[in-house]
Structure 1
Amino acid sequence: MNEEREPDEGGEPEQIDLSGVFKAMQPMADFYRTQNAGLMKQLAEAVMPTERIGQTLARQIFESSGLSDRFREALEPLHEHFREQWRDLFASIGSLKDRIYPENLRDAEPKLNELKQLLLEEGIPLMWVPGPKIVRALLDAPDAVERRRIVGRRWRGIVNDCEAVASSVDHPDLLEARDFALDCVSALRAGHANPAQALAANLLDSLMHAHFEKGDRVKLTSNKKGKAKFDLNDYGVRVSLTFAPVWYAYEEFWVHKGDPIPRMFARHASAHGVSRAQYSRINAVYGLMLAVSVMKFFDVELER
């Protein structure tokens, strides 16, 4: 069953209130919800380098205006002026993408529908871990079954990626969590997948309790049957991409209601439905990825 933990004794770790942390990202989230969302999606997914987008778009607007050659010549200085502005605008969009996406996602340039499928429908973490080669393989896979097989086949590489990202965490409030994440890494390498999964599931839960106010935490983990799904548009971009798979992992599970034990990694089932159906090396890797992704999110966002 789902349980509410008592607060730990001792000093309180720093907590994040979602209402104020991501103000810098809110304009982009708002923009996605407006009638111009389609245009922004095309720009974000464009293959053309951002410095060329502005030049091309400005030229197309100018050349399609139906003006005479003489009038075009007279307007050429104005054209040059606005071309510079377009170039600066789209260069800033490219820079914004780099600030939102961690290094493992920048070369992959995933499309929004791909992100939604992997993060929200399959619960696969992609923020900070796994590494770019495995991200590319997951994006190129034809379906969810093959993606799970990729995690199973390439688990050693994913564990290496998790170790590298966990080792980079240096916020004072996260040092203990970092050490536990590295314990998960050691357990998996030593062939102790079940203890690794149990520790990863509880580490994830501990991070959520320690660094979110209760209302925000409940909203991010309220995956109840028959209720609305996690909405990527409700948060800033980085929050959405990090916590969509967390929401998936917190699928409602009640022993006394006879709920079937899920085969995919689930936090509540890991705690209250210990079984061969839930515990596996693949699920231990999923749990480790989730814990490391969330921990790195806090490492980046918490004040120092």
Structure 2
Amino acid sequence: MNDEFEPDEGGEPEKIDLSGLVGAIQPMADFYRTQNAELMKQLAEAVIPTERIGQAFARQIFESSGLSDRFREAMEPLHERLREQWRDLFASIGSLKDRIYPENLRDAEPKLNELKELLLEEGIPLMWVPGPKVVRALLDALDAIERRRIVGRRWRGIVNDCEAVVRSVDHPGLLEARDFALDCVSALRDGHTNPAQALAANLLDSLMHAHFEKDDRVKRTSNKKGKAKFDLNDYSVREALTFAPVWYAYAEFWVHKGDPIPRMFARHASAHGVSRTQYSRINAVYGLMLAASVMKFFDVELER
């Protein structure tokens, strides 16, 4: 900013002392900067209520909603329009969940600690599938054992949910994969659970290889013992919630090291540990949910 006005003809420039103005504006700038950080947290908690939320994940929610730009716009003009812009800004919060969550999660209002437990500790997909009633039952369940029983009892409805999501996929690069997912649906309904699980596991792996470069794929599937867990803060909100259970499903498994075959669905164990321990109808449903969720993610995110 120039602190001089042009002089009158024949006169000296009139120098303006701005020190007082700067001193008056600085506290206001500090206030808005503080409010920006607090608002990000409040907006994030409005979508994913929790007592503790990572700052980076809060920022992802805030920015992915498109409200960050509107917030900056509302902060810039310090005049009468400010009040109106604030009103428009907070009116947008009501639709924030619709922009981040798929339809099956919008009414559930899951807390972040609930999401982390189901996605990272139990490997249950929640993005796009299963349907809202099953999501609500899973969130209300007391523990992992009950949640697995819910999947076992409601498998037919979950398969229907997966079919509906898979049929909604229309990206040209996913049509072949969509047909294989529908084959998996048919196999489950016809009682061919073992072929359904094998197909779902390999379809999931094929999707990851087809649509991620090696480094990006490895980052999302490197679930090694003693290593860091999948970090939600490293991804956009939609991507974090989609690929956290994928990371779980890629748990390290080595036959030659004598690793016990896991009972939960695992991609590597489905390929290299074929057994009654790994293969089951429940695990086939888990595999189908993962494939359907990842496929729909690419359907939404890939360029057309």
Question: Partner residue of 1:42?
Answer: 45
CA distance in 1, matches of 2:169, 2:219: 26
Q: How far apart are 1:177 and its partner, in Å?
A: 0.4
Kindly provide the amino acid, as one letter, of the partner of residue 227 in structure 2.
K
- For normalisation by structure 2, the TM-score amounts to 0.75
- For normalisation by structure 1, the TM-score amounts to 0.75
- Structure 1: unaligned runs, 5 residues or longer: 1-33, 47-77
Kindly provide the amino acid, as one letter, of the partner of residue 110 in structure 1.
P
Q: How far apart are 1:43 and its partner, in Å?
A: 2.8
SS in 2 for 1:282: helix
CA distance in 1, matches of 2:101, 2:48: 13
CA distance in 2, matches of 1:250, 1:45: 26
Q: How far apart are 1:255 and its partner, in Å?
A: 0.4
Q: How many residues align?
A: 240
Pick closer, same or farther for the CA change 1:35–1:213 going to 2, 3 Å.
Answer: farther
Kindly provide the amino acid, as one letter, of the partner of residue 217 in structure 2.
R
Kindly provide the amino acid, as one letter, of the partner of residue 44 in structure 1.
V
Question: Partner residue of 1:206?
Answer: 206
Kindly provide the amino acid, as one letter, of the partner of residue 140 in structure 1.
D
Kindly provide the amino acid, as one letter, of the partner of residue 192 in structure 2.
H
CA distance in 1, matches of 2:88, 2:194: 52
Larger radius of gyration: 2
Spell out the pairing of 1:1-304 with structure 2 (5 A cutoff). 38-45=41-48, 84-304=84-304
CA distance in 2, matches of 1:86, 1:42: 19
CA distance in 1, matches of 2:259, 2:133: 37
Kindly provide the amino acid, as one letter, of the partner of residue 144 in structure 1.
A
Q: How far apart are 1:45 and its partner, in Å?
A: 4.4
Percentage of matched positions with identical amino acids: 87
Q: How far apart are 1:88 and its partner, in Å?
A: 1.9
- Structure 2: unaligned runs, 5 residues or longer: 1-36, 50-77
The CA RMSD measured in Å over matched residues stands at: 1.9
Q: How far apart are 1:97 and its partner, in Å?
A: 2.3
Kindly provide the amino acid, as one letter, of the partner of residue 157 in structure 1.
G
2:47–2:96 contact (8 Å) kept in structure 1: no
Pick closer, same or farther for the CA change 1:99–1:268 going to 2, 3 Å.
Answer: same
Question: Partner residue of 1:3?
Answer: none
CA distance in 2, matches of 1:137, 1:87: 36
SS in 2 for 1:269: helix
2:43–2:93 contact (8 Å) kept in structure 1: no
Pick closer, same or farther for the CA change 1:37–1:96 going to 2, 3 Å.
Answer: closer
2:193–2:280 contact (8 Å) kept in structure 1: yes
Q: How far apart are 1:42 and its partner, in Å?
A: 3.0
Kindly provide the amino acid, as one letter, of the partner of residue 149 in structure 1.
R
CA distance in 1, matches of 2:80, 2:301: 40
CA distance in 1, matches of 2:201, 2:124: 15
Kindly provide the amino acid, as one letter, of the partner of residue 181 in structure 2.
A
CA distance in 2, matches of 1:97, 1:255: 43
